[in-house]
Structure 1
Amino acid sequence: MSIPARFHDGLTAEVQAVDLDFETVGAVGTLVIRGLDHGEIARWPAEILFALPGRKDELRLGAIGQPDGARVVVQGHEAVARVLATIPQLTERRHQQTGREIRLAVTATVALVAVIAAYLYGVPLLASRIVTVVPPAWEQRLGETVALQMEASLDGEAGFELCDDNPDSLANQAIARFGNEVLAGSGSPFELDIRVVKSDIPNAFALPGGQVFFFSSLLDRARTPDEFAGVLAHEIGHVAYRHGMEQLISTAGTGALIGFILGDMTGISVAAGLGATMIDARFSRDAERQADAFAAQVAQRMDFNPAGLADLINRVGVDDEFARALALLSTHPLTEDRKAALEALSRQRPTGLRPPFTTAEWSAIRDMCKIPHN
């Protein structure tokens, strides 16, 4: 008894109503496809048949060596059961195919989990080790690229406007001298480039390669030289430990690793979008603690209170919601443990040290961005 089906020849869009018969000659079985006029359309040996994905109570059969779209479609639970009973090899092959699909799905899932785990945990763990072999020249060029992107993201194509573009001014000379004294003895391969720029966002950044940005809005909120010196020393600590490069490797993940392997740490493939990423990124807790400890060590050589950093971060956070979302409290979260550690470190300072800035220098720094005195 024939089994009704539909036939697609794989060459045209035509769908033919057909009847299926199964003939056996010796041990060889053949599926015979006939039109409703009983004319033979095709003969498919059983050993070349395979099942294709289909809906419930539907069996789709293809054949090796036939056009890709060639198939026979059998519908209905009873008709499908008759075909499977007549050609038992199909049931075995369906089980094999299902097993392969399950194994493929499991393998793909395991691979995806491994990639995600490597991205979330492996790359950040390796970043601190990878950064030690990144050539300083590469890091400097990458930092320049990121700085340009950051300027464009925050202030448009015009970039940042320096509060004081005269490198020989009293304020710039004082800041440069302070930076050099802070970095002295750290073994850092970089020369500092500290820029005080006009911005409504109260924040400060240390970028790869030695660039440090201090925003005028944050300077406006600094009430004492200690607060300014504490933040600046903290950011220079990030430079000394190369935390910016470490952060970019962690953020860029595989792209940065490929760029490092290929010797391209400045191309678009690695650097694109990292300026905006650095604006919103925060260093790890370990990196923040390292930078805090670095600032405290500097305070033992120069007479400023490292706890001023905590005071300024805390004040910025309560000023307004804008500052809380986009400024120092967001990128440099002040935990209770961190605040307590800074206060403890401040108590260890020796007395009788030379202040980092004279009264005249601090006054000039405060006037850099035309900030009125309190």
Structure 2
Amino acid sequence: MDSAQTGVAARYFDGHSSRAHPVTVSVGDGHAELRGADGAVLRRAALASLRVSERIRRGPRLVTFDDGAYCEITDHAPFDAMLAATGYREGLVSRAQNSWRLALLSLAGIGTFVVLAYFYLLPWTAALVARTIPSSLEARLGEATLKSLDEGLVKPSALPPADQQRIRDNFAALRRPDDPAHDYRILFRQGGPIGPNALALPGGTIVVTDELVRLVGTGAGMMGVLAHEAGHVSQRHGLQQVFQASVVGAMATYLLGDVSALLATVPAAVLSMHYSREHEREADAFAVEVMRDNRLPVGALADALQALEDAHGPKRGGQAADAAGDEEAGFFSTHPLTKERIEAIRGGG
């Protein structure tokens, strides 16, 4: 600008001593001038050679010269007016730091991103990572989970060997979609605290509790439940849920190849996970397809799930229980069920 501006009070540090010199700063003709208490010009420099620190709400601003000397200014309002007159404009970050409106918009943007990442980006990433996990690693994760189960949650099965073998033989005889990545095996355990349940472990092992066999038998209903679990395995739903629950460790495993951390956390994650509603629908569709291909009544799967619903009714407040009630005990701790799902399976038959 061409005309001189009224000076702004400042403290000048010349870089040679710690002494502060009281000065006034003014601008004119593209230059800044520092004048001492007696009005004498102490220093003159081109505006383009100066560095102005970002504005902080209560902190002083610094005007630094090219040799390291600087002025400290605390009278913000007149200094801001002086800067505006020279055409100086704060950067976006600085303006945002001092604007409640921009700060709130930034927080809203971050919140929106977090929500979208949690509901869309994280599941998509988890599915991508799960599909790229080698079968050998998936099998190791399944063995680690089974070991954790056997060491504290379940007991050896008391089911007659003939019943166990009948279920294995019937499942092996089912025509199922090709799944060369998994070697399926059916194991039996007394469920104890997990009650009537079937757990699909990474790698293809399906653990069936004695309580579930007593509840639904060894026939078509059991085959429907096992086909449902096979759907979870084939589409690696369990791995996806684990990765979503322990995303940091899972990504470290994926990027660095160190599986020790994941091996340590997967058993607890598998045993405490909750399949998403979408995963349940996909596993239901898989089971319905298997039952149709094998000429088994689809309604038998719905009957088995209804028996589970009824068995847990007293703990869940009956069929009127909401989604929160679905997660309280037994089969429902890992397989959220609703009346609508059961009706959808019956309708699919």
TMscore range, shorter length: 0.5 to 0.7
Query: In the TM superposition, what is the alpha-carbon distance from 1:170 to its structure 2 partner?
Result: 3.2
SS in 1 for 2:281: helix
CA distance in 2, matches of 1:294, 1:246: 22
5 Å-filtered alignment, 1:162-241, equals: 162-164=155-157, 169-182=161-174, 184-189=175-180, 190-197=182-189, 198-202=191-195, 203-216=197-210, 218-219=212-213, 222=215, 224-226=217-219, 227-241=221-235
Query: In the TM superposition, what is the alpha-carbon distance from 1:306 to its structure 2 partner?
Result: 2.0
**Aligned twin of 1:290:** 285
Distance 1:108 1:7, change over 3 A: farther
**Aligned twin of 1:61:** 62
Task: Determine whether 1:97 maps to 2:112.
Answer: no
State the AA in 2 paired with 1:31. L
From 317, 325, 328, the equivalent of 1:325 is 328
Query: In the TM superposition, what is the alpha-carbon distance from 1:204 to its structure 2 partner?
Result: 2.5
**Aligned twin of 1:350:** none
Query: In the TM superposition, what is the alpha-carbon distance from 1:271 to its structure 2 partner?
Result: 5.2
**Aligned twin of 2:135:** 136
From 266, 274, 281, the equivalent of 1:281 is 274
**Aligned twin of 1:74:** 74
Distance 1:318 1:271, change over 3 A: same
CA distance in 1, matches of 2:266, 2:289: 26
Conserved 8 A contact 2:231-2:283:
no
After superposition, the C-alpha distances for 1:297-341 in whole angstroms (9 at most, x for unaligned) are 376259992223222331233131598513323432323332123
State the AA in 2 paired with 1:61. L
Task: Determine whether 1:242 maps to 2:233.
Answer: no
State the AA in 1 paired with 2:136. A
Distance 1:107 1:287, change over 3 A: same
TM-score (norm 1): 0.64
**Aligned twin of 2:337:** 334
Structure 1 unaligned spans of 5+: 347-374
CA distance in 2, matches of 1:312, 1:8: 83
CA distance in 2, matches of 1:238, 1:176: 18
Cα RMSD for the two superposed structures: 4.8
CA distance in 1, matches of 2:50, 2:11: 19
Distance 1:92 1:303, change over 3 A: closer
Query: In the TM superposition, what is the alpha-carbon distance from 1:74 to its structure 2 partner?
Result: 1.9
Q: How many residues align?
A: 323
Query: In the TM superposition, what is the alpha-carbon distance from 1:143 to its structure 2 partner?
Result: 2.8
Conserved 8 A contact 2:32-2:44:
no
State the AA in 2 paired with 1:63. T
SS in 1 for 2:207: strand
**Aligned twin of 2:320:** none
Conserved 8 A contact 2:12-2:23:
no
Percentage of identical aligned residues: 22
State the AA in 2 paired with 1:192. Y
